[in-house]
Amino acid sequence: MAAKPVKGCESSSDDEAVSVPVSSNAAGSSTADKDKTAIEMITRYMAEKLGFIDTEEKSHEKVLDELTLDGVVKHIKDGKIKNIITMAGAGISTSAGIPDFRSPESGLYHNLEKYNLPHPQAVFEIDFFDENPKPFFLLAKELYPGSFKPTPCHYFIRLLHEKGMLLRHYTQNIDTLERVAGIPGESLIEAHGTFYTAHCRECKAEYKLEWVKEHIFSDKIPICEKCPGVVKPDIVFFGENLPDRFYSSVGEDFSQADLLIVMGSSLVVQPFASLVDKVRDNCPRLLINREKAGEGDKLMALLGMGGGMDFSEKSTRDVAWIGDCDDGCQLMADKLGWGDELKELIKKEHSRIDSEKKPTLHKKNEEN
């Protein structure tokens, strides 16, 4: 697979309100995956040239009755879908009120000006963090999980899980809203890391979210209890590798998928963006986003080397539903006959979250 996340290829659209665009040396398992993918590409290319794969015949074989949301829904209702992989970018979290931390105009960077950052993204560069972690923790206070409620998109993914159809959810986001929504950890691949756990930069001791949060909201840099090292949340910074679980899960997961749903991502940050090419050729791919995304190189597609999504009239399986992610998920749930169930789940879960926050607010008022 494309093993190196590319720094600087972020999008200004919905791609990553709380998703760190990452850069990696991609050593170890990622290098092995890259070599394996290269061999697969060469093998496929040679097989096509020798006539073992009929690309013309395959390219005209329609997977869906119609390349619309209704076509995808019919495929599900017909019982042809058992293993769904969902992929998400920050577009699924924007309605939760999570700000775009990457934009200097968002206001989040205003308090960091006194630290004379060489550029805004320096706050997410591991070398800069090791020299001066304070700017990151000041910014993290504004972004920390617990201040936001999951969106209809998150609960739609949970509904897929509850119905036994979710094979895995791959997310670029670091906001942990999938976990808050009740999607179990074993069903999640947090490609760009998470605030859920943290580790000491020196001795690697592990700490949980609440421990780190207590320090951050007390305006203290979290220092390890076992050594003088700084404790950093497990989000992926520029200069760090993606989690091992990302690379170890991709091959098996995507070979089993019979539907891929991409939500709220502009599919530009690698290697996450290349995952759309990992599913089988007969696997439908649905994009729910404010604009079309992930359309790739036509020549690469002809050579069987990926090529991204194809929303042209010649497409055999790709569907783009353009609009707000929450609206798209609710509409899909309605068409599947799950609409009221989704609305009730959102109402119940948001009430639960509100009730859990009240004791905390009461305690703070007593302290004041």
Annotated binding site for Zn(2+): 200, 203, 224, 227
Helix (H, G, I), strand (E, B) or coil at 234: strand
Could you give phi then psi for residue 130, rounded to 5 degrees?
A: -65, -30
Specify the residue for token string 């756990």: 197
What angle do helix axes 325-336 and 69-77 make, rounded to 10 degrees? Answer: 40
Element (H or E) spanning 85, and its range? strand 84-88
CB 267 within 8 A of CB 306: no
| Residue set of the binding site | 90-94, 100-102, 172-175, 200, 203, 224, 227, 289-291, 325
**Beta-carbon neighbour count of residue 332 at 10 Å?**
22
SS3 23: coil
Catalytic residue among 119, 154, 192, 362: 192
362 is catalytic: no
Contact 328, 315 (CB under 8 A): no
Tokens of 51: 């006539």
Residue 12 structure tokens: 């200004």
Task: Tell me how far apart the alpha carbons of residues 206 and 199 are, in angstroms, rounded to a whole number.
Answer: 4
Specify which residues 259 forms β-bridges with.
84
Q: List, in sequence order, every residue forming a beta bridge with 88; answer none if it has no partner.
A: 171, 263
Residue type, 5: P
Element (H, E) at 126: helix 126-131
Annotation: binding site for NAD(+): 90-94, 100-102, 172-175, 289-291, 325
- Terminal CA-to-CA distance of the chain, rounded, Å? 54
Residue 330 in tokens: 């609710």
Which residue type, as a one-letter code, is found at position 75?
Answer: H
**Exposure b/e, 206-222, CB count within 10 A at least 16 = b:** ebebeebbebbeeeeeb
Amino acid present at 352: R
- Backbone Cα Rg of the chain: 21
Residues classed as catalytic: 192
